[in-house]
Amino acid sequence: MYENLKFEVKNKIALITISRPQAMNALNMDVLNELYAAFTEVETNEEIRSAILTGEGKAFVAGADIAEMNSFDAIEGRNMMITGHRLMNYMESIEKPIIAAVNGFALGGGCELAMACDIRIASEKAKFGQPEVNLGIIPGFGGTQRLPRLVGKSMGKYLIMTAEMITADEAYRIGLVEKMVPPEELLATAEKIAKTIMSKAPIAVAAAKTVINNGYGLDMKTASVMEIEAFTAPFASQDKTEGMTAFLEKRQTKFQKK
């Protein structure tokens, strides 16, 4: 089904592996479109409850495919950026959690792809950066917006304007990734986190992701109204009854599986 991805489902978790090791998993138009199709499968397949995204070989994604982009004119470049934004905005809109297991280089479009995931787990060997200004361009898949929101405006400017490549340890220190683990523990850690989230009330998890993404950046008054509205669906669900009853009865919850 996919030429540039490996897609497998185990224990209701979709493992999506970008597989262009000969090109350090660089993002070209084909990869972007295949990723969109893969995450469409994640969203629509009821047997899938979360996803882990990683890369094959030494890179998570070493960037956009410069060999392809080098021949682009302004219109073609714009179309690629629109395709990338379409993918990454879609990833954020999916109610199911997406975890990036960053195994190696996450540069340029690779860093932007990781930032579009809900949670980022990094191998101790991972490297992060937005090197676009070295190439005479700027981040074009959301990097100028997501990076400052994750690490702060000034640090975002620093990383983008200097094009500095940072270690996993530094990425963890500044809040770009949530956990850093030995390489051999990367996928197991990502799977453990996915299973932890999947053990919670599905409706509540979906509502939380949606309201966080949609409310972030809004003024507090508007975001608070959004939270109140988002609270309604879980509060009216069977999961709310089960969760509170189980708490009072001091037993394990048995949530409905979405």
CA distances from 84 to 6, 16, 44, 217 (A): 19, 17, 20, 21
User: Which strand ranges, in their side-by-side order, compose the sheet holding 179-181?
Assistant: 5-10, 13-18, 50-55, 98-102, 119-123, 179-181
Q: How many CA atoms lie within 13 A of 114 on its CB side?
A: 35
Q: Are strands 98-102 and 59-61 parallel, antiparallel or unpaired?
A: unpaired
Q: What amino acid positions are annotated as catalytic residues?
A: 112, 132
State the DSSP string of 122-177: EETT-EEE--GGGGT----SSHHHHHHHHH-HHHHHHHHHH---EEHHHHHHHTS-
Distance CA 144, CA 211 (A): 22
Give the torsion sign (CA, 57, 58, 59, 64): negative
